[in-house]
Amino acid sequence: MDVLYFAWVRERIGLPREVIETTAATVADLVAELRAREERYAVAFEDLSALRVALDQELADFDAPLAGVREVAFFPPMTGG
Amino acid sequence: MRVSVQEQAFDAGAELTAFSAGHSDIGAVVTFTGIVRDLADDPMDAMEIEHYPGMTEKAIIAMVEDAKARFALGDVLVIHRHGRLQPGDVIMMVATAARHRKDAFEAATFLMDYLKSRAPFWKREISATGAAWVAATEEDETALSRW
């Protein structure tokens, strides 16, 4: 699936998007996999309360299932307006 | 309804004139215009606004649909810029048109509250002392709880 990063999440991980092969059942499982990869992911995903997630461009929760999802995006709380 | 997420500058006055024209069933138009505010004690060189192409437009359209379901609205306009802006530049505008002013005012406030913390934009302030992502506030989140 495509995994996208925005704002300081993108900066900490060092790339805007990547394709990840995963069997993670939920967003939280995917986060655990990413955290275990490398230090930069561990740093980016250190505090989940400071992060938001969207599944196929809809805001979702970290316990949401990933079955059928094509695009996951991680980003900090939004600051529009 | 018109929703535009764009990099280029726009003329808020001309947009308002065009939006207001040609409705004989509308008694009220309310607009909000957002402007890049300079930092109080650290002059800003620029504000950069990042967004999530695709999701941004969809999220705003969903907010407008929600506003239309809650308030008696004739029409809605949302323009939001991204990219690099200077202090004093217009970032965005919301305009709501309704038969009566209460719906127009409330819908504009509702849309602003949602755009602030549910549309995928992220602001970064760049000054001589460095660059910093603007943090969302508790206030932004509590503003949503009244709707």
Question: Residues in chain A with pLDDT < 70?
Answer: none
What is the separation of C-alpha B98 from the centre of its chain, rounded to a whole number of angstroms?
18
Closest CA to B116 of A73, A76, A78: A78
Q: How far apart are CA B119 and CA B112, in angstroms?
A: 10
pLDDT band at B23 (very low <50, low <70, confident <90, very high): confident
Q: What is the pLDDT of residues B85-140, one digit of tens each?
A: 999 999 999 999 999 999 999 999 999 999 999 999 999 999 999 999 999 999 99
A24 min Cα distance to partner chain B (Å): 23
Interface ipTM: 0.95
Torsion from C-alpha of A58, A62, A63, A67, nearest 10 degrees: 50
Q: Could you tell me the residue range of the domain that residue A42 belongs to?
A: 2-75
Q: How far apart are CA B34 and CA B32, in angstroms?
A: 7
How many folded domains does chain A comprise?
A: 1
- Is pLDDT of B42 > 90? no
Cβ-Cβ contacts under 8 Å, A57 against chain B = 52, 54-55, 58-59
Nearest CA in chain A to B56: A57
Cβ-Cβ contacts under 8 Å, A60 against chain B = none
- Is pLDDT of B41 > 90? no
Cβ-Cβ contacts under 8 Å, B61 against chain A = none
Q: Could you tell me the residue range of the domain that residue B34 belongs to?
A: 2-145
Q: What is the pLDDT of residues B51-68, one digit of tens each?
A: 999 999 999 999 999 999
CB-nearest to A79 from B55, B92, B136 is: B136
Q: How far apart are CA B74 and CA B54, in angstroms?
A: 26
Q: How far apart are CA B25 and CA B126, in angstroms?
A: 45
Cβ-Cβ contacts under 8 Å, B52 against chain A = 4, 6, 54, 57, 73, 75
A49 touches chain B (CB under 8 A): no
How many folded domains does chain B comprise?
A: 1
- Is pLDDT of B39 > 90? no
- Binding-site residues on chain B for chain A (CB distance < 8 A): 34, 50, 52, 54-55, 58-59, 80, 91-92, 112, 115-124, 133-136, 140
A47 touches chain B (CB under 8 A): no
CATH number of B102's domain:
3.90.1170.40
- Is pLDDT of B22 > 90? no
CATH number of A12's domain:
3.10.20.30
Give the angle B116-B52-B122 at the CA atoms, nearest 5°: 40
Residue A81 lies in a domain: no
A7 touches chain B (CB under 8 A): yes
